[in-house]
Amino acid sequence: MTLDRIIDDIEPADQKIMQQAREHTSRLVMPHRALGELHLIAERVCGIQRTLEPSVNSKAVLVMAGDHGIAVQGVSAYPQEVTGEMVRTFVRGGAGINVLARHAGTRVLVVDIGIIPDVSDLAGEIAAGTGHFQGENVLIVNKVAKGTMDFTIGPAMTREQAEQSITAGYNVAGDLFEQGVELLGTGDMGIGNTSPSSAIGAVIMGHPVERMTGRGTGVDDEGFGRKCQAIQKGIAVNAPDSEDPVDVLSKLGGFEIGGICGAILAAACFKRPVVIDGLISTAGALLAHAMCPVVAGYMFAGHRSVEQGHQLMLEHMGIRPILDLGMRLGEGTGAALAMPIIEAGVRVFLEVLTFEQAGVSKG
């Protein structure tokens, strides 16, 4: 399916169903909207799924992994080899996202959408004749290329590769939705990927690079200066068109950012809620939003990262974070942590009695 066709198929969340859900909430046996944001979460899920009997029991987190040419500019506190090493750790179930996903009762699927090393030996099997991904932690190899180019000297990727990364993310997420996943989380892995994410935010929203850029993996003052200079140079060298999200992705982005963008577009197409994570996931969301603003109605922000550009991105899309815990790990950890809260809101909506059912005077 072409990107234009994907965007054409997206419809806004159903406001009529959301209003009906609000009316139901007003009848629950408690003071009016006494559980605050939990009510709004449940009502939004109703509007997204087009039902007053919402379900988010089947959950998955997609961790998109890609390497970045910009890493050679010293923008990260960690060497580039860590990307592939962490992918192996995800599949073993030993990373932060694996622990929090187990806590949330969700599966983790890692997509090699553009890392440098070959990790195909770890790729998960798909049950014969079913198309279903098997196992708790699965690696899917859908490599666009072995890392992007250094965007300080030219485009990070070709336009065709940018579109390919978006389509790859759409297809993987779409397969999960067709298999019954009701709530999707997005995550990332890629040494150096806060730089392209900050660059995308600076161009799409028109903010100064210094305002959009944070410390990433924890670079010192000197490293932060190099990072800002590299991003500024990349924008100047490539002159991305802020009105063309695919152009911005191709010149400054990463394959995993494109994949996250595609997964978010798939959520909107399949009418499923998607929980975005921190800066990198939200850069993908920002691109999807620039292509089709109504996708914001399908997104929940799992948390607010300490990366300063993250909150600016969320404000631009009109999305409020569920959690604020001083996190900056990525991997989908904020999305996984927020999933039980979304489930709680849905359960309140479905299981709390109304005043009439409980026989309690409303006053």
pLDDT in tens, 152-186: 999 999 999 999 999 999 999 999 999 999 999 99
In sequence order, the 6+-apart residues with CB closer than 8 A to the CB of 300 are: 41, 44, 273, 274, 275, 276, 319, 322, 338, 342
User: Residue 34 has what pLDDT?
Assistant: 98
Q: What's the CA gap between 226 and 297, in Å, rounded?
A: 37
C-alpha 172: how far from chain center: 13
**CA distances to 134, 246, 305, 352 from 324, in Å:** 33, 31, 7, 27
- Give me 356's structure tokens: 């009439």
What is the DSSP code (8-state) at residue 78? Answer: S
Q: What's the CA gap between 211 and 62, in Å, rounded?
A: 29
Residue 206 backbone dihedrals phi, psi, to 5 degrees: 75, 25
In sequence order, the 6+-apart residues with CB closer than 8 A to the CB of 65 are: 83, 86, 87, 110, 111, 112, 113, 114, 115, 188, 189, 190, 256
Q: Which residues are catalytic?
A: 331
- Give me 80's structure tokens: 């580039």
Has residue 9 been placed in a domain? no
The answer, as to whether pTM is greater than 0.85, is yes
Compute the radius of gyration of the chain from its Cα atoms: 20
Has residue 240 been placed in a domain? yes
Has residue 15 been placed in a domain? no
The domain that holds 173 is classified in CATH as 3.40.50.10210
User: 58, exposed or middle or buried, with CB in 10 Å at 0-12, 13-18, 19+?
Assistant: middle
Has residue 347 been placed in a domain? no
Has residue 36 been placed in a domain? no
Is the model more confident about 214 or about 298?
Answer: 298
Neighbours of 91 (CB within 10 A): 21
| Number of domains present in the structure of the chain | 1
Has residue 329 been placed in a domain? yes
Tell me which residue range forms the domain holding 252.
Answer: 55-339
Query: Is pLDDT at 126 greater than 50 in this prediction?
Result: no
User: Residue 129 has what pLDDT?
Assistant: 37
Tens of pLDDT along 301-340?
999 999 999 999 999 999 999 999 999 999 999 999 999 9
Has residue 264 been placed in a domain? yes
Has residue 349 been placed in a domain? no
Is the Cβ–Cβ distance between 25 and 349 less than 8 Å? yes
